[in-house]
Amino acid sequence: MQITMYDTLVPSANRMLGSLSNILDKAAAFAAQKNIDASVLLNARLAPDMFALTRQVQIACDLCARGVARLAGEEVPKFEDTETTFPELKARIAKALAFVNSVPATKFAGSEDRDITVTTRRGDLNFNGLGYLRDFVLPNVYFHVTTTYAILRHNGVELGKADFLGG
């Protein structure tokens, strides 16, 4: 059996965003148990020049949804970045996953050779589909989920590797 672009991205997106949702549940419970204003965790960061937790979650969602859209030749979904609570972030994850899972595997056919351009603050990045998935989407998803995990762990939320890896 040959692995497909769909087989690589969609299950990974489901696992990582599912883990992210569960991590946020633990963070919300921790804040309630310790009587900590949730905004303290939502605005936490590991270093002054990095994005806060809320933005880390938004970016992880965007990477999954945009990755699927670009590889499947679909219109890239737009999400407003207005989340300020754990329930709102969990709704963002659910919305991203709904999109990811709405695109049939057949739409990914030939996507490994599709030309993809991503516009960033530093300029355009050009990939073929395989390079985009392997060298941009997946490493960035793992980075932003890991960073969310690290921010929460640093702030005392009891998380372990199993929380990151998910089920």
In whole angstroms, what is the distance from residue 74 CA to residue 36 CA?
41
pTM above 0.75, yes or no: yes
pLDDT for the residue 24? 98
Mean pLDDT per 10-residue interval, the chain, length 167 residues? 93 98 98 98 97 98 98 96 98 98 97 95 96 98 98 97 90
Structure tokens at 83: 């989340």
**For the chain, how are helix, strand and coil distributed in percent, rounded to 5?**
65, 5, 30
Structure tokens at 99: 């999109």
pLDDT for the residue 131? 98
In whole angstroms, what is the distance from residue 69 CA to residue 47 CA?
32
Say which DSSP state 122 is in.
Answer: T
- 100-105: Cβ within 8 A, 24+ apart: 100/10, 100/13, 100/14, 100/17, 100/64, 100/65, 100/68, 101/10, 101/14, 103/10, 103/68, 103/69, 103/72, 103/74, 105/4, 105/6, 105/7, 105/10
Is the CATH number 1.20.120.450 carried by domain 5-103+128-165?
yes
pLDDT for the residue 166? 85
Name which of 58, 17, 56 is nearest 154 in CA terms.
Answer: 56
pLDDT for the residue 126? 97
pLDDT for the residue 38? 98
Distance of CA 73 to the CA centre of its chain: 20
DSSP string, 89-109: HHHHHHHHHHHHHHS-GGGGT
